[in-house]
C-alpha cells in the first residue's frame, strides 16, 4: 500500500518519465529537432527586456536576487506546435540527482509554453516562442527540457543553467602561465576559498571546483585539489604547480554582421537575394596561428540577434544562408568546423566544412538568424573524435581577452545533492 501511494504521488507530480524520454535525456546543451533554431537562454536583468545584448550573459542567476531566466527559440516548421518545459536537477558532474521535483521546485514541474509570435516579413517563416523559467528552491545545476506536448518522448531541446547562493568567499585571479614554455600561449587561474562561518567536515575533499572559459562547457577545468589548507584561517589555496589550472588562451574571435541584407555590413563579402531566401558570403578567412596576436574586441564566441531596419530581431529577423570560406591547405586525417555559440559549441554535420579543391579552401553554409556573430575554426581528428584542436588554425595567445567563471559545489551534511555555494566571474586582459 505504501509503495502504491508513493508511485501515485510520483505520477501526479510528473517525476516518472517514460522510458523513451529518459533514454534520450542527456544533460547537455542540444537541439534535437532539426526544425528548431536559435535557442537562447539568458537572465532578464536591467530595464529593457528587448535589449539584444542581454543574451550575452550566461544562464547563471543568484537565488538571492529576483532575476528570472528567459528561453527563446524559433520553430521553422512555420506551424503552431504545443511544447512543454520541465526542469531536471543535476549534481556537480551534471548527472541527474536523486531529488524529487517537490524538493527543488515551488510549483508543478511541467509547464506549457504558451507565449509565441509569428514572424513578420521574412522569406523563411517561423514561430517564435518565449518561456520564463520558473524559480527554483535550491542552488545548483539544472537542465531545462522542452518536449512535444503530443508526444512526451519527442524531446525538442535541452539547455543547462545554474543557480547559486554565495555562502563562501572566492578570490580568483588570472595571469600568464607560470610554465616558461607556455607563458605566451596559456592562461592560469589561481584561487582561494574562504569558508569562514560555513559548516564543512573535510574542506580539502568536500568542495568541488569548476573553472569555465567563455561560458563554454567544452572549456572546463575540473578535479582541482587545494595546494594549501590554512585550517586556522579557514582558507583553501589553489596555486597548482602541475598546471592543472591552466588552459590555452585562444585568440580573439572572428565576427561578422548580418543585421541587414539590404547592403554589405562588416566582414560580409556579398549578399545574394533569390526569391526563397537570402545568402550572405562571409569574407574569406585565413589561418591565424602563424601570425602575431592582434588585439580586437569580441563577444567571446557569443552572438546577438538583431535586425537593423526594425530593431526587433525576435520576429522581424530573417534566416540567412551564411557561407563561410577558410583559405587553407587540406588537413589530412581531420575534419574542419566553423564553431561558436550559435551551434552550442557542438561539432556536427550542421557546421562541418568540406574542402573544395577548385577554391583551395574549406566551405560551409549555415542557416543563421540576422544578428552579429562570433565564430572561429576548429579541427577534430577523424580517428579520435575526442581530440580537437582550436589553436591549429586560430593560434593561442596568453594576451587574449577572456571571461572565466569559478563554480564551487558542496553537498551540505544530510543533503542529498550537490549545491552551488559560490560563483565568481573574472575578466582576464579586459581593456574596457
Looking up residue 58, the CATH number of its domain turns out to be 2.60.40
Name the domain boundary from 137, 163, 189.
163
3-state helix, strand, coil in the chain (%, to 5): 10, 40, 45
pLDDT of the residue at 15: 42
Residue 2 inside a domain? The answer is: no
Going by C-alpha positions, the residue among 28, 53, 106 that lies closest to residue 303 is 53
Distance from C-alpha of 175 to C-alpha of 179, rounded to nearest angstrom: 11
pLDDT of the residue at 11: 42
Q: Give me the domain span that covers residue 334.
A: 254-394
Distance from C-alpha of 190 to C-alpha of 175, rounded to nearest angstrom: 8
Do 341 and 359 sit in the same domain of this protein?
yes
Helices then strands, each counted (H, E), the chain: 6, 30
Residue 384 · residue 347 · CB < 8 Å: no
Do 140 and 198 sit in the same domain of this protein?
no
Residue 1 inside a domain? The answer is: no
Do 141 and 186 sit in the same domain of this protein?
no
pLDDT of the residue at 391: 96
3-state DSSP of 295-319: CCCCCCCCEEECCCCCCCHHHHCCE
Triad 317, 323, 325: Cα angle to 5°: 145
Do 385 and 298 sit in the same domain of this protein?
yes
292 to each of 195, 257, 296, 395, how far by Cα in Å? 43, 25, 13, 9
Going by C-alpha positions, the residue among 35, 39, 40, 125 that lies closest to residue 78 is 125
Name the domain boundary from 163, 195, 217.
163
Do 36 and 158 sit in the same domain of this protein?
yes
H helices of 173-328, where?
A: 203-206, 313-316
Do 24 and 98 sit in the same domain of this protein?
yes
pLDDT along the chain (432 residues), means of 10: 44 45 75 97 83 94 95 96 98 97 95 97 97 97 97 96 97 94 95 95 94 97 94 94 94 98 95 96 96 94 96 96 97 97 96 97 98 98 94 97 98 95 96 74
| H/E segment holding residue 112 | strand 111-113
As beta bridge partners, residue 41 has 71
406 to each of 91, 94, 159, how far by Cα in Å? 16, 16, 20
Residue 296 inside a domain? The answer is: yes
Residue 3 inside a domain? The answer is: no
Distance from C-alpha of 368 to C-alpha of 151, rounded to nearest angstrom: 28
Do 282 and 366 sit in the same domain of this protein?
yes
3-state secondary structure of 101: helix
Distance from C-alpha of 389 to C-alpha of 48, rounded to nearest angstrom: 39
Strands 419-428 and 83-90, by their bridges, are: unpaired
pLDDT of the residue at 5: 47
Q: Strands (DSSP E) along 177-227, which ranges?
A: 186-194, 208-213, 220-221
Residue 113 backbone zone (phi > 0: left; psi -120 to 50: alpha; other: beta)? beta
Residue 5 inside a domain? The answer is: no
For the record, the C-alpha cell of 194 comes out as: 574562504
For the record, the C-alpha cell of 388 comes out as: 580537437
As beta bridge partners, residue 211 has 221, 406
For the record, the C-alpha cell of 312 comes out as: 526587433
Do 187 and 309 sit in the same domain of this protein?
no
Which DSSP symbol is given to 348?
Answer: S
| H/E segment holding residue 5 | helix 2-13
Is 0.85 topped by the overall pTM?
Answer: yes
Do 227 and 336 sit in the same domain of this protein?
no
Do 26 and 59 sit in the same domain of this protein?
yes
Half-sphere exposure of 319 (CA within 13 A, CB side): 22
Question: Which residue in the block uniquely carries the three cell numbers 542527456?
Answer: 26
Do 156 and 49 sit in the same domain of this protein?
yes
pLDDT of the residue at 432: 67
3-state secondary structure of 406: strand
Residue 378 inside a domain? The answer is: yes
Tell me phi and psi for residue 333, to 5 degrees: 75, 15
Half-sphere exposure of 363 (CA within 13 A, CB side): 12
Name the domain boundary from 131, 163, 195.
163
pLDDT of the residue at 205: 93
Residue 202 inside a domain? The answer is: yes
Do 277 and 151 sit in the same domain of this protein?
no
pLDDT of the residue at 83: 98
Distance from C-alpha of 299 to C-alpha of 252, rounded to nearest angstrom: 9
Q: Strands (DSSP E) along 127-217, which ranges?
A: 127-133, 140-148, 151-164, 169-176, 186-194, 208-213
Distance from C-alpha of 142 to C-alpha of 302, rounded to nearest angstrom: 21
- Look at the chain and report how many structural domains it folds into: 3
Residue 7 inside a domain? The answer is: no
Count Cβ atoms within 10 A of the Cβ of residue 56 and give its class: 0-12 exposed, 13-18 middle, 19 or more buried: middle
Amino acid at each position: 500500500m505504501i509503495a502504491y501511494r508513493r508511485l501515485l504521488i510520483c505520477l501526479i507530480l510528473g517525476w516518472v518519465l517514460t522510458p523513451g524520454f529518459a533514454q534520450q535525456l542527456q544533460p547537455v546543451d542540444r537541439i534535437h529537432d532539426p526544425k528548431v533554431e536559435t535557442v537562447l537562454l539568458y537572465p532578464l536583468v536591467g530595464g529593457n527586456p528587448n535589449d539584444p545584448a542581454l543574451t550575452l550573459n550566461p544562464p547563471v542567476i543568484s537565488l538571492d536576487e529576483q532575476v528570472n531566466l528567459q528561453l527563446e527559440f524559433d520553430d521553422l516548421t512555420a506551424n503552431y506546435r504545443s511544447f512543454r518545459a520541465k526542469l531536471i536537477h543535476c549534481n556537480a558532474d551534471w548527472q541527474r540527482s536523486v531529488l524529487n521535483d517537490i524538493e527543488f521546485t515551488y510549483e508543478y514541474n511541467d509547464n506549457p509554453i504558451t507565449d509565441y509570435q509569428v514572424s513578420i516579413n521574412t522569406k523563411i517563416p517561423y514561430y517564435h516562442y518565449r518561456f520564463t523559467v520558473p524559480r527554483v528552491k535550491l542552488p545548483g545545476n539544472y537542465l531545462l527540457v522542452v518536449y512535444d506536448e503530443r508526444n512526451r518522448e519527442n524531446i525538442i531541446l535541452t539547455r543547462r543553467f545554474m543557480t547559486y547562493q554565495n555562502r563562501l568567499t572566492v578570490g580568483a585571479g588570472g595571469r600568464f602561465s607560470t610554465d616558461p614554455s607556455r607563458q605566451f600561449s596559456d592562461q592560469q587561474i589561481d584561487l582561494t576559498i574562504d569558508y569562514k562561518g560555513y559548516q564543512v567536515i573535510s574542506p580539502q575533499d568536500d568542495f568541488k571546483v569548476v573553472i569555465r572559459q567563455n561560458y563554454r562547457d567544452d572549456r572546463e577545468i575540473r578535479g582541482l585539489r587545494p595546494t594549501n589548507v590554512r585550517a586556522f584561517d579557514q582558507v583553501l589555496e589553489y596555486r597548482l604547480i602541475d598546471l592543472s589550472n591552466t588552459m590555452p588562451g585562444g585568440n580573439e574571435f572572428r565576427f561578422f554582421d548580418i543585421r541587414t541584407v539590404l547592403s554589405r555590413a562588416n566582414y560580409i563579402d556579398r549578399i545574394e537575394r533569390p526569391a526563397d531566401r537570402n545568402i550572405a558570403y562571409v569574407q574569406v578567412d585565413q589561418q591565424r596561428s602563424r601570425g602575431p596576436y592582434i588585439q580586437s574586441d569580441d563577444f567571446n564566441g557569443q552572438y546577438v540577434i538583431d535586425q537593423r531596419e526594425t530593431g526587433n530581431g525576435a520576429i522581424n529577423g530573417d534566416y540567412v544562408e551564411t557561407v563561410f570560406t577558410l583559405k587553407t591547405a587540406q588537413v589530412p586525417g581531420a575534419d574542419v568546423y566553423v564553431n561558436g555559440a550559435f551551434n552550442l559549441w557542438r561539432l556536427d554535420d550542421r557546421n562541418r566544412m568540406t574542402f573544395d579543391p577548385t577554391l583551395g579552401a574549406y566551405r560551409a553554409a549555415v542557416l543563421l538568424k540576422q544578428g552579429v556573430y562570433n565564430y572561429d575554426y576548429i579541427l577534430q581528428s577523424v580517428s579520435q573524435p575526442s581530440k580537437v584542436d582550436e589553436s591549429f588554425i586560430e593560434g593561442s595567445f596568453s594576451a587574449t581577452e577572456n571571461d572565466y567563471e569559478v563554480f564551487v559545489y558542496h553537498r551540505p551534511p544530510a543533503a542529498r545533492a550537490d549545491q552551488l555555494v559560490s560563483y565568481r566571474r573574472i575578466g582576464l586582459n579586459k581593456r574596457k
